[in-house]
Amino acid sequence: MVSLAWWQFFNLLAPSKPAIESAITVGASPYSYTAQSNGHVVVTGGTVSAISLTRVSAHATGFTAGFIPVGNKDVVTVTYTVAPTMTFIPT
């Protein structure tokens, strides 16, 4: 998995301006975020016990933090006891 710091570093090397990231306001656990466009969801910090990614034809689980590629209408569900920081980075 690529950390947010590495993503930002490599984006600075890109010939075009990086996309503007936006903070995700995390609600009550389990919290589900539905992507409105292609991009990445970054989950850091907090005390996360599970993250799942649901796509039209697939479902992934087994991770608790990271840089998650998402497509339009993908749903990232985070279960936690202490809220993590979540950020959406469009592509």
Q: What pLDDT digit, counting tens, does each position of 77-90 carry?
A: 999 999 999 999 88
The contacts of residue 31 (CB under 8 Å, 6+ apart) are: 77, 78, 80, 83
d(CA 67, CA 72): 16
Q: Domain of 20?
A: 4-90
Global pTM reads 0.71
State the average pLDDT over residues 68-74: 90
Whether the Cβ atoms of residue 2 and residue 67 lie closer than 8 Å to each other: yes
* pLDDT at residue number 35: 94
Tokens of 12: 């600075």
- CATH classification at residue 72: 2.60.120.1300
How confident is the model over 34-70, as pLDDT tens digits? 999 999 999 999 999 999 999 876 778 888 998 889 9
Whether the Cβ atoms of residue 78 and residue 26 lie closer than 8 Å to each other: yes
Structural domain tally of the chain?
A: 1
